[in-house]
Amino acid sequence: MRFAVGFAAGYLLGARAGRQRYEQIAATARQLSNHPVAQRAQNTVKDLLSTAVEETTHRMARDHGSPVAAPTALEQAPRPPRRARADGGAQADTTDNTTG
């Protein structure tokens, strides 16, 4: 019986401490995801993925003769303006022009 009581008490205390640590980690993750640098990185990744999906879809349609699907919501989302890279390609302009 003592073992069961000790086990139950240990389990409850451990679960409580685990929950507090989880909440701490979750709060830190929320703060980081709301940081402007993280948001710019998220937007850049979304833009790159959207471009890759669009290019792949068109390439497959060209190479395999299949019709191009209607644009997805991600493809229709507004994109940041593009600027030329030194190697002749283009990249998303992620400079923050909102701060002075």
Q: What is the pLDDT along the chain (100 residues), one digit of tens a residue?
A: 777 777 777 777 777 778 787 888 889 888 888 899 988 999 999 999 999 999 988 888 888 776 555 556 565 666 666 666 666 555 555 555 555 4
- In whole angstroms, what is the distance from residue 85 CA to residue 34 CA? 28
- In whole angstroms, what is the distance from residue 64 CA to residue 70 CA? 17
- In whole angstroms, what is the distance from residue 39 CA to residue 30 CA? 12
2-33 and 36-64 are packed helices; what angle lies between their axes, rounded to 10 degrees?
80
Residues paired with 91 in a beta bridge: 83
Q: Which CB contacts under 8 angstroms, 24+ apart, belong to 1-5?
A: none
- In whole angstroms, what is the distance from residue 78 CA to residue 69 CA? 19
Q: Whole-model pTM above 0.85? A: no
Rg (CA), the chain: 24
Kindly state the DSSP code that residue 93 receives in the 8-state scheme.
Answer: -
